[in-house]
Structure 1
Amino acid sequence: MNKNFIKIVLFAVLIAAISGCAQPPADDANTTEAPSEEIKLKIFHAGSLAVPLSELEKEFEALHPDVDVQRESMGSVKAVRQITDIGKKGDVIASADYTLIPSMMYPTYADWTVRFARNDMVLAYSTEKSKYADEINQENWYDILRKDDVVYGFSNPNFDPCGYRAVMVFQLAELNYGDDMIFDDLILSQTSITINDENGSYLIKTPEDMEPNTKRVSIRPKSVELVALLEQGGIDYAFEYRSVAVQHNLGFVDLPEKIDLSSVEYADFYKKVQLETVDGNTKTGKPIVYGISVPKNALHPELGLEFVKFVIGAEGQKVFKKVGQPPIVPAVGSGNLPGALQGLTTVKPSSLMVYSGAGMRKPMDEIGSLFEQKYGVSVNYNYGGSNTLLSQIELTETGDAYMPGATMYIDTAREKGFVDYEQNIAYHVPVIAVPEGNPAGVTCLNDLTKPGVKVVLGDAKAAAIGKLGDKLLEKNKIFDAVNANVAARAATVNELVIYTCMGTTDASIIWKASLIGTKSETDIIEIPTEQNIIKVIPIGTLTFSENKEYATMFVDFVASDEGRAVFEKHGFTAYPNPKYE
């Protein structure tokens, strides 16, 4: 064998041996630290928050090198549903309408909300490609949109707050400009969206398929999708948030404050317009306020909370100012607010004071409990006769809401300047109530005039049922004859129920719903519709409420499908109903 080859082999073996000796022991190798795994922080947010949150994402990641912020931008309703309906895990939820968090997520998916920024609606356009861009202004924009060669757009009202706010703006514009065809020309005739007008309040309904006339109108899932269409010349105008128009260097019509949903000063005007989405939820016109929270199913709740603190803190405030979304300083918290946020926010009221007719005690007690569960604000009631309560309101000028047994009382309250926002809830239907077994044999109103029949009625000066009972008797021309048989007048409808259950009266005129639960003690005699007087039960916010926002939320909650269902459960007929119209 070649000696040189043997030397080479021996040299290679020696090198390998030396290299092997140089390796660390196996135990030492196992103690080497592996790089830490990156934490993915998941955020679902409104499309109009994409720009500020993108900037804050970079700053947050710089402060937390082991965190990867992953954002999903979409319409706010859709963002919430990623968690509530689809079941995705989210560490932060940020909505362009803060009320979506309590209304859609409380109490199962979240239990607190922080309001942190504002915005307003504008009509955006491309200065280079939009038709009539050099002509359009605050006074003629709706006439420009009426032109046959103009295409305008808004986002889907069923998915995106910017969409339902855009549709509200059309109706607010009618009221502001005194042109009662704006909504008809630009919404009703171009889509399948509908609207109902009731005493100066408007309810818009958006079906699942809005059937837009695509030659004139473009409806997209979220408002930021319309930006690309503007930039490409696919549409001429789009309703956007001011911040979105500023961030994308678009031209825009600066709409009047009275219709752009920006000003607390015009909050009562905005309330005139409501919109019911396809899922049955009703949105009320109000100033645009963003909300943020950490969902209960968050994988990283502590880190999610850190991100929220970053958003509402000094750095976040600076970014939001820069991009045209004024921050709320300090931010406003509500619900079961984490202790870590309490120093950075102001807090919602602990309770509301509501004056309610005694006949609505059962449903209102239940609604108060539901409202507290959903919004974290308790409701204290002062029950009594409608007129008595009105006198108390006039005397004290305190409280948050008033719910009398008939609209005549809220009309008076409005005339006196006590009520500034109203909703109709249910019907009060008078019936004749008699003790179980009907010992006096009463079968109709005229039987109350018979000699020896002992009648107890409500006090017309204190209770709605008293005033209504007298009018009903006058309508049927039997007031004097029945009044001769009246043994007592009760201050509240609940006292009338007690009189009847105890058998101390032969008959009384009582609200039908007030007799629920007394079947074993009373009998009911229906009054024919042509002889009867059916009353509507309203509720309104009080002008001197110190908790205006939550007072309005309570009124809207009572008027919601959930609130009306409670009234029906307790024997009332929910408003509206063709039977009583």
Structure 2
Amino acid sequence: MPDADSSVRRRSVLAGAATAMAGLAGCTRVLGHAGDGASDVGRNATAGGGDDGSATVSMLAAGSLNNAIENGLGPAVDATIQVEAHGSARVARLVAEGQKDPDVVSVSDVALFDSPLHPDWYVEFATNSVVVAYNADTEGGRRVADAGADGWYRPLLSGEVSLGRTDPDLDPLGYRTLFALELATDHYGTDANLREAIPAKRQIYPETQLVSQFETGAIDAAFTYRNMAAERGYDYVELPPEIDLSDPDRTEAYATADYELPSGKVVEGGLISYGSTLRHHSPAARAVFDAHVAGDYLSDFGFVIPDEYPRYTGDVPDAVAD
């Protein structure tokens, strides 16, 4: 096992921290997640609907934010948070089509605020990177680990590894996986086009189910965000910055890859940037929003917070700007 290779991360103390913080999840009211028959997330901030009489704030969020919201943000605020998590493209469509009406919307790609969502303003509050997580208890997972940062794609090409990824039509992680594979083809100078050779329909899982497939050993490896791997203590191969969509200085190079969503919108590769907007204003909603986009809890769950974040775009209300 290539433990000496700093690009291959072993299970860290973050796993213990995430487990310990999971015990605080009762402070956050979880309405539901993708595929579990969750009730609607609606306008709740002024309803005073918490079980303990506190105000309730509803959030519709990217699946990769779910654990941080439940176990980091929830215990840090006075309000009860009602959170529903999906892939970000689905989050955007649910709101744009009027199927959901949350107080706060948070997505893992600010491009979704250009279309299908069109908020007057939003804030970028965190970044991330794409990694290849692997299960060290399976033969396929060990092959990925042994290949390391210079050759992780080889066992995927040979069919020796069962791979999991999310749906690019529903989730930015899904199309970012395709971007990473396309960029890897050029970076490594492979004969095969990795974006065409590696992906298969059977690999696709909803973002909130990908974790369970990985943890039960149903798949050997998965493309995921660094924060998702770190907060759960997964072993993972850290990809070079030319591939992992984390380097602001490589934004133009990332943009050479793109993907067309079912709506016809073409999404270009770029720096991973999480964004949020507050749709319904109340003191409780503003307090939760402020803690959400500026809280130290994000770093504890594997996200990266650039010095210039949170960064606001658009016609920001005075109450939020203050």
Partner residue of 2:74?
57
2:174 to 125, 143, 163: 163
Please list, as runs of the form range in 1=range in 2, the aligned pairs for 1:168-317 lying within 5 A after superposition: 168-181=179-192, 182-187=194-199, 190=200, 212=201, 214=202, 218-222=203-207, 224-295=208-279, 298=280, 300-313=281-294, 316=295
Listed as ranges, the gaps of 5+ residues in structure 1 are: 1-34, 191-211, 344-581
Distance, in Å, in 2 between the alignment partners of 1:175 and 1:279 is 29
Distance, in Å, in 2 between the alignment partners of 1:163 and 1:177 is 21
Match of 2:75, SS state, is helix
Query: Structure 1 residues 148 and 59 mapped into 2: Cα distance closer, same or farther (>3 Å)?
Result: same
Say if 2:137 is the partner of 1:128: yes
Partner residue of 2:24?
none
Query: Structure 1 residues 91 and 133 mapped into 2: Cα distance closer, same or farther (>3 Å)?
Result: same
Offset of residue 241 of structure 1? 0.3
Is the radius of gyration larger for structure 1 or structure 2?
A: 1
Distance, in Å, in 2 between the alignment partners of 1:273 and 1:134 is 26
Distance, in Å, in 2 between the alignment partners of 1:303 and 1:111 is 21
Match of 2:148, SS state, is coil
Distance, in Å, in 1 between the alignment partners of 2:321 and 2:278 is 15
Contact 1:136 1:253 in 2 (8 A): no
| Matched residue count | 267
Say if 2:306 is the partner of 1:341: no
Match of 1:291, SS state, is strand
Distance, in Å, in 1 between the alignment partners of 2:152 and 2:91 is 32
Offset of residue 83 of structure 1? 1.8
Say if 2:127 is the partner of 1:118: yes
2:56 to 40, 55, 60: 40
- State the Cα deviation string for residues 228-275 of structure 1 (Å, max 9, x = none): 111111111110000000011111111010010000111111011111
Distance, in Å, in 2 between the alignment partners of 1:148 and 1:160 is 25
Distance, in Å, in 2 between the alignment partners of 1:148 and 1:332 is 42
Distance, in Å, in 1 between the alignment partners of 2:159 and 2:292 is 44
- State the Cα deviation string for residues 401-443 of structure 1 (Å, max 9, x = none): xxxxxxxxxxxxxxxxxxxxxxxxxxxxxxxxxxxxxxxxxxx
Offset of residue 148 of structure 1? 2.5
Partner residue of 2:297?
319
Offset of residue 101 of structure 1? 1.9
- State the Cα deviation string for residues 472-504 of structure 1 (Å, max 9, x = none): xxxxxxxxxxxxxxxxxxxxxxxxxxxxxxxxx
RMSD of aligned residue pairs (Cα, Å): 1.9
Query: Structure 1 residues 287 and 134 mapped into 2: Cα distance closer, same or farther (>3 Å)?
Result: closer
Partner residue of 2:110?
98
Offset of residue 111 of structure 1? 1.1
Partner residue of 2:43?
none
Offset of residue 37 of structure 1? 4.9
Which structure would you say has the larger RCO, counting Cα contacts within 8 Å and 6 or more residues apart?
A: 2
- State the Cα deviation string for residues 102-152 of structure 1 (Å, max 9, x = none): 32221xxx2110000000000011122351254131111111101233211
Match of 2:110, SS state, is coil
1:136 alignment partner AA: A
Query: Structure 1 residues 141 and 281 mapped into 2: Cα distance closer, same or farther (>3 Å)?
Result: same
Contact 1:130 1:233 in 2 (8 A): no
Listed as ranges, the gaps of 5+ residues in structure 2 are: 1-50
Distance, in Å, in 2 between the alignment partners of 1:302 and 1:283 is 35
Distance, in Å, in 1 between the alignment partners of 2:111 and 2:124 is 9
- State the Cα deviation string for residues 145-176 of structure 1 (Å, max 9, x = none): 01233211210001101001001111111111
Match of 2:263, SS state, is coil
Contact 2:55 2:284 in 1 (8 A): no
Match of 2:114, SS state, is helix
Distance, in Å, in 2 between the alignment partners of 1:321 and 1:87 is 32
Offset of residue 303 of structure 1? 2.8
Partner residue of 2:164?
153
1:237 alignment partner AA: A
1:252 alignment partner AA: Y
Offset of residue 328 of structure 1? 3.5
% same residue: 28
Match of 1:311, SS state, is helix
